[in-house]
Amino acid sequence: MAYYEHDVDVMIDEGAIQSRVRELGAQISRDYAGRDLTLVGVLKGSIFFLADLARAIDLPVRIELMGVSSYLDRHESSGEVRITHDVSTPMGGRHLLLVEDIVDTGLTMQFLLDNLQARQPASLKVCVLIEKPTRARCKVALDYRGFVIEDRFVVGYGLDHAEKYRNLPFVGAIRERDLQPHAKIGQNSD
């Protein structure tokens, strides 16, 4: 029996994820044909999605990484976002595709978009694996979306619960009984 089977219910299986990533990669390849594309992945959650998406894009791509934090503890957002790791090269004049694992409240995504737009890219779009629209506190434009899910606390494929479960090949929901008492159901970092 796998270590997660008592804690996690599969929501989006590995096959569905890989199929959708290939579809997104093909669409992005068409949309950016003839242009240089820079993927900007958001640490840590997007790394699995970023790697698979980059391989599914039939174009030469550059990869940059940003780290942000808005969490006072592991579960509750402070509402204040700060950069913990910045990109390593200038973004001005580049076609940027911001790649994120999940958009929940939208606050972190809006911060990232404002930050990157201030660097004067040629274009800036968003590709997200998972959207939870019922939790949105601000509206952000999502150009490429993998899946829309209900309001559950999800893990796997880069998403974590207390830094665990990122390595699962699927997206699953933590069973409510297994969340720590102070965790709010449905909340993930975004």
Catalytic amino acids?
A: 104
Q: What residue spans of the chain are helical by DSSP H?
A: 14-31, 47-56, 107-117
Indicate if the alpha-carbon torsion angle 148, 67, 140, 145 is positive or negative.
negative
Characterize 102-120 residue by residue with b for buried, 16 or more Cβ atoms within 10 angstroms of its Cβ, and e for exposed.
Answer: bbbbbbbbbbbbebbeeee
Helices 14-31 and 47-56: crossing angle in degrees, nearest 10, is: 50
